[in-house]
Amino acid sequence: MGKLFGTDGVRGVVGESLTPELALRLGRAIGAYFGKGSRVLVGRDVRVGGSMIKSAVIAGLLAEGVKVYDANLIPTPGLQYNVKEGPYDGGVMITASHNPPEYNGIKVIASDGIEVPREDEAIIEEYYFKGTGSSLAWRSYVYDPKVIEEAIDVYVNGILNALSPLPGVKKNHKVVVDCANSVGSLITPRVLRELGAQVRTINCNLDPLFPGREPEPTPDSLQEAAGLVKNVGASFGVGHDGDADRAIVIDDNGNVVWGDRTGAILSAYVAGYWKNLPSRVYTGVSSSIAVEDYLRPRGIEVVWTPVGSVVISRMIKRDGGAISGFEENGGYMHTPHQIVRDGAMKAALLLHLVDELGSLSSILGELPTYYPIKTKIPATREQALCAVDAVKEHYSSLRQVTIDGVKVFGEGFWILVRPSGTEPVVRIMLEAKTREEAERILGEVKSVVKNRCGVGE
């Protein structure tokens, strides 16, 4: 049987690997999974082909007797919140998140608002490849999709209500929001203004071609927003991806900050107000050990997870909760609100944090400093697995986490070596206290995997 789902949904280039025919057939498979008479909320971001793909998925759902509700343009966490809080059995989001504009995708949401587990993705794939085609009497096709115009309001009010344990924002903060020309434009500026901030927007007009910048928020793509933060004297800035479930933060000095750093300081802040939560956070093995260095002295355990927000969400729910879940790519899960990445909620929490604790740069300055290196080497799957084994053996005397590749913890450094889930490469990430030490360790790792596995130059 073939494979459709990747790390986060089904994705492809519109008109090539992602066609209306595939979307229709997948819609029927999703409909068979939820079952006749189930209620499914469907939404999309602004991407090219979104209306076409959404219409095809809806047709497939209707053909299986599903009652369809259409939220239209909405961020992924907005759809997830509506599914969790509303009268729905599940949801389907049409998005390719941070991928380039020619891509779109299909993400399936369970009734709890979290993406369906991997084992359920396999069930949907089985329906897809075996073919579904329920024979329904004509009276079964009476359902027309119902437009849910209030979905955005439900989501915004949900964020604001979830912030009620925090003190009100007292100062007049300026905040820059880079919306990536997509659905974050509909939410984050509004939420921050409701909280009293002066919002300066950039790339907040809806445009499926993403003319302002690539839809993945990175230090390179957020340079214009970073300049605006400094020019207007903003307290901070945030940059969304295409479906606004992630937010990369810019501090008051115009520095773009990776999500594991902001995740750590937000978690410590949240723990002071939601004292009933288990004193632990969940983060992917790609996050820095600065997270552990910062949170452990504050009595907060760090649980390392495989890479992928779905994995983090499901682990938090399985284990009975946490303060938060977060990723270095900017995803942050405020669990009292919902156990999924939520870019607008992250921005709102940051506003409260800086209002109460002071400048973001000074708070981030409390984190240990490491010099990071991220690289990848072309490799087959077998070579990538060999590289993982080679690094495990070479650093066998050091603490290791082996849930997704191997993460090695040394004195003042860490190394992560893992096969990519999306391309034929082995990924290497590491941090050390100085650039020289980081480059020395990278050279050592490359030598180990080349000698053992024939990977690299």
What confidence score (pLDDT) does residue 249 get?
A: 98
Q: How many DSSP H helices and E strands does the chain contain?
A: 14, 20
Q: What is the pLDDT of residues 173-185, one digit of tens each?
A: 999 999 999 999 9
Strands 103-109 and 67-73: unpaired
Strands (E), 218-300: 236-240, 247-250, 256-257, 280-284
* Positions in the chain whose pLDDT score sits under 70: 1, 135-142, 457
Strands (E), 203-357: 236-240, 247-250, 256-257, 280-284, 301-305, 324-326, 332-334
What confidence score (pLDDT) does residue 131 get?
A: 85
Catalytic residues: 97
What confidence score (pLDDT) does residue 138 get?
A: 62
Please state the φ and ψ torsions of residue 182, each to the nearest 5 degrees: -135, -160
**DSSP three-state, residue 309:** helix
Report how far residue 62's alpha carbon sits from residue 50's, in angstroms, rounded to the nearest whole number.
18
Looking up tokens 């359920």 gives 120
Largest CA distance in the chain: 72
What confidence score (pLDDT) does residue 321 get?
A: 98
Strands 174-178 and 90-94: unpaired
222: tokens are: 């957020």
Q: What is the DSSP letter of 183?
A: G
What confidence score (pLDDT) does residue 143 get?
A: 75
Residue 140 neighbours by CB distance under 10 Å:
15
Report how far residue 196's alpha carbon sits from residue 198's, in angstroms, rounded to the nearest whole number.
7
Q: Which residues contact residue 146 at a Cβ distance below 8 angstroms, ignoring those fewer than 6 apart?
A: 67, 68, 69, 70
How would you write 34-82 as a 3-class SS string? HCCCCEEEEEECCCCCHHHHHHHHHHHHHHCCCEEEEEEECCHHHHHHH
Distance (Å) of CA 216 to CA 83, 222, 283, 427: 25, 9, 20, 19
What confidence score (pLDDT) does residue 6 get?
A: 84
The residue among 237, 96, 222 whose CA lies nearest residue 176 is 237
What confidence score (pLDDT) does residue 141 get?
A: 65
Residue 233 neighbours by CB distance under 10 Å:
8
What confidence score (pLDDT) does residue 1 get?
A: 60
What confidence score (pLDDT) does residue 140 get?
A: 65
Q: What DSSP string describes 378-447?
A: E--HHHHHHHHHHHHHHTTTSEEE-SSSEEEEETTEEEEEEE-SSSSEEEEEEEESSHHHHHHHHHHHHH
Residue 125 belongs to what H/E stretch?
Answer: helix 118-130
412: tokens are: 């003042």
Contact indicator for 404, 307 with CB cutoff of 8 Å: yes
- Does the predicted TM-score (pTM) go above 0.85? yes
How close are the terminal C-alpha atoms of the chain, in Å?
36
Report how far residue 142's alpha carbon sits from residue 37's, in angstroms, rounded to the nearest whole number.
11
Domains of the chain in start order, with CATH, are 10-149 (3.40.120.10), 155-364 (3.40.120.10), 371-453 (3.30.310.50)
**DSSP three-state, residue 194:** helix
